Amino acid sequence: MLKKILVIHGPNLNLLGQREPAVYGRITLKQINNELIKVAKKKKVNLKIVQSNHEGEIVDLIGKSKAKYSALLINPAAYTHTSVAIRDAIAAANMLTVEVHLSNIYSREEFRQKSLISPVVQGTIMGFGAKSYILGLEALLDLIHK
Ligand code: DQA
């Protein structure tokens, strides 16, 4: 059976392409998703990709994901720095999870220089723009096949 990986994009990532291009570049979410799908096809895994601006919706999604998916790739966006609820949902799901960020959060404003999510995931990849997602997916695939 094909493995299924859940990809979650957090708040405002739907605006990529127009949003703060000096920080996030010109690439759109659709282009990032297409790149991810290309890699997934090559590696023979299925992706379910969701973008949400709502914390509770992301919590619900993670809560239901353990039964359906082999692993989680998540950019929690602004919730990275604030959401105990998303952190707890990931810890409770206890599934292989990689956190990604387009930007290097440690080179930005002080309020971004902490991730509540990093302590409950296998690893975090940041600072490589859209490539962070591809590296994150590849890292997850390695973990799944271990
Ligand atoms: C982000 C970094 C966050 O601080 C920010 O709120 C985002 C995007 C990133 O991918 O670099 O929305 O997660």
* Chain centre distance of CA 143: 15
CB of 101 closer than 6 angstroms to any ligand 1 atom:
yes
* 9 counts as catalytic: no
Burial of 22 (0-12, 13-18, 19+ CB in 10 A): exposed
Ligand 1 geometric centre to CA of 100 (Å): 9
Q: Residue 68: count other Cβ atoms within 10 Å of its Cβ.
A: 9
Ligand 1 geometric centre to CA of 10 (Å): 9
pLDDT by position in tens, the chain (length 146): 668 999 999 999 999 999 999 999 999 999 999 999 999 999 999 999 999 999 999 999 999 998 899 999 999 999 999 999 999 999 999 999 999 999 999 999 999 999 999 999 999 999 999 999 999 999 999 999 87
What is the rounded distance in angstroms from the CA atom of residue 13 to the CA atom of residue 141?
23
* Chain centre distance of CA 20: 19
